[in-house]
Structure 1
C-alpha cells in the first residue's frame, strides 16, 4: 500500500462526534445555517447486522460526510485482531464508505491462561522496535482488509514511556514512534491535541503548550490526516487529570489548535464530547469556534 498523504484543505472542515442522545437533532440540523461538515461514529455501535442501526447510518450518510472511529481493534496488542471483529469492522466500512477511518495507538487484548482477554480500555504500549513491528503488522492487516489507509490516534496515558518499558535499549520518543509507524505502515495520523495536553499536564511538564509544539513540529504535515479537539474534567483522580471528554474544548486546546493549523494548514477537525454530554446546540457552538480559529 502506498504511503498515506494528507493535503491541507482550502477551507475549514469541521465535525462533531455523533453520540446517541443527538441522533434525532443531528438529522434535523440546518447545515446551511450552521455548517457541520462531517460526523464521527464509534464503529462498535454499528456492528449489529441490519435493523435500526444500519437505517440510521444510511440517514446520517445522506446528510454528512462520515468518520468511522474504532475502539476495539487494539492494534498494539501482542495478539492478532480477532477475525470476527475485523470482519464486522470491514463490513461497516464497506457499507458506509466513510471519508475517514481511524483507530488508537494502544493495546486492549492479551493472552491469559491460554485465553485471549479484552481489557475494556485503551492501554499504552512501549515505544520501541518490538512494539513498532507489532503494531505496523496489525495496521497493515486492517488496511489490507478494508483496502484503504487508516489514521492512528495518539493516546492519553497515565504512565510515561519510561515507566512502561524502563529497561528498553531501543526506546523512541512518542514523535519518533509515530513518524516511523506512519512511514512503515503507510497509515496516517489522527492528532489528538487534548491527549497531548493531558499527558503533558500529568507528567508535570513545564510550559506544556510550548513543549507539545516542539514535538509536533517534528511531524510531517502530510502524515496528519485529522485533528481531535476536546476538553477534560479539571478535578483529578488520584492526582491525575482524566481524559474523559466531558467538557468543552479547553482554552489550552484552542491555543494549541491555532498554532497547529498554522503549522499544518486546515486539516479535518473534530470536536469530541463523550461524557456529560451537552445540548446539541452547545456542541454545535464548539464547531463555530473551531471554524473561526481555522479562518484566522
Structure 2
C-alpha cells in the first residue's frame, strides 16, 4: 500500500509550537514522535490539536524495537494504536532496529545483523504488528556504527529483500546512509540506487556530528553539502517522495528550518512541486 504524496514536511518539536500556530508557515505536513503523545493530555496535545486542524500529521516512533528477539510489547502497541486513532495520521513509521531485549533497554537504535534468520523473524513480526494495528507500517534505516560477523547481506540488499517479502515500505534516511557509508567505507550511491523506488514512502534529511574518525547521527547540525548532494542525485528522474527535515537538538529559529525545507524543494525535481 503506497502512501499519498503530501510534499515537504518538518519534524514537529515543542520549541516550534507557538511559532507554527502564530505564523502558519508554508509547510506541507508535520511529523510527530509517536511516544510523546501517549499521554492523554498536556501541552503536546493542546498544541497538536490546533496544528492538526491545518496540517496533515504523520507519526514516527522510536520504541517499537521491531528487530528484538523478545516478544512484541503489546502494552506499547496498545498505546500506539490508541494514539493512532486519536491523531488520525496519514501514515505511521518506526525504526528498523532493536532497542530492547527483555527488561533491558539500550535507549538507542541498534542495527540488526543482515541474515536470513533476521529476515524471517522480521517478516513475522511486521505482519503481527500490522495485523494488530490494522494498517501498514513504514520502517526507517538507522545509522550504523558496527558490523556483525554473522551478516550475510549488505544493508541495502537486506532492505530490498525485506520489502519484497513484506510489501512494507521504507523511510529512507539519506543522512543515515551517509553516516553509515563514512563509518564503514562503502559507496552511498550504490546503497541508494539498490533500493527499489516503489519501496520508499518518505525521505528524512538531517545533520550529524563529524568526529574525524567517525560521524554520529546527532540531528543537531545543519544538513551538510554531502547529504544535499546525495539527495540531489537520488531524487533525479524519480517519482515524488515525501521529504522531511529532521532536527532534534541545538534548534535554530523556525526560519532556519524553513530555509532548509525550501532548499530541499529547490533540489527536488520541479515536477515534485507541481505534482497532483
Give the TM-score taking structure 2 as reference length. 0.92
1:85-116 per-residue CA deviation (whole Å, 9 max, x = no partner) reads: 111111111111111211101001113xxxx2
8 Å contact 2:202–2:242 — kept in the other structure?
A: yes
Greater RCO (Cα-Cα under 8 Å, separation 6 or more) = 1
More displaced stretch, 257-266 vs 267-276: 257-266
**Separation (CA, whole Å) in 2 of partners of 1:167 and 1:81:** 24
Matched, 1:192 2:173: yes
- Of 27, 31, 36 in structure 1, the residue corresponding to residue 27 of structure 2 is 36
CA offset at residue 232 of structure 1?
A: 1.0
Residues 6, 224 of structure 1: 8 Å contact kept: no
Could you tell me how far 1:81 is from its partner in structure 2? 2.2
Asked whether 1:174 is paired with 2:155, we answer yes
Contact 1:40 1:69 in 2 (8 A): yes
Determine helix, strand or coil for the equivalent of 2:53. helix
Instruction: Output the CA distance in 1 between the equivalents of 2:208 and 2:18.
Output: 26
Partner of 1:208: none
Aligned residue pair count: 270
For residues 183-209 of structure 1, give each alpha carbon's deviation from its aligned partner in whole angstroms, at most 9, with x where no partner exists: 22221000000000001111234xxxx
Q: Is the 8 A contact 1:74 1:104 kept in 2?
A: yes
Partner SS for 1:48 = coil
Q: Distance in 1 between matches of 2:132 and 2:85?
A: 10
Please name the residue that 2:13 is paired with: 19
> Gaps (5+ residues) in structure 2?
271-276
Deviation at 1:221, TM superposition (A): 1.3
1:219 to 186, 189, 195: 195
C-alpha spacing 1:255/1:290, structure 2 compared with 1 (3 Å): same
Question: Does the 8 Å contact 1:107/1:123 carry over to 2?
Answer: yes
SS of equivalent residue, structure 1 residue 260: helix
Question: Secondary structure of 1:276's match?
Answer: coil
Task: Identify the match of residue 230 of structure 1 among 200, 206, 212.
Answer: 206
Q: Within 2, Cα distance between the matches of 1:28 and 1:291?
A: 23
Q: In structure 2, how many angstroms separate the alpha carbons of the residues matched to 1:51 and 1:233? A: 33
Structure 1 segments (4+ residues) deviating >4 Å:
none
Per-residue CA distance 1:129-182 (angstroms, 9 max, x = gap)? 11112222222222112221111101101112xxx2x145xx111112111212
Distance 1:59 1:141 in 2: 33
Match of 2:222 among 248, 254, 258: 248
Distance in 1 separating the partners of 2:184 and 2:116: 24
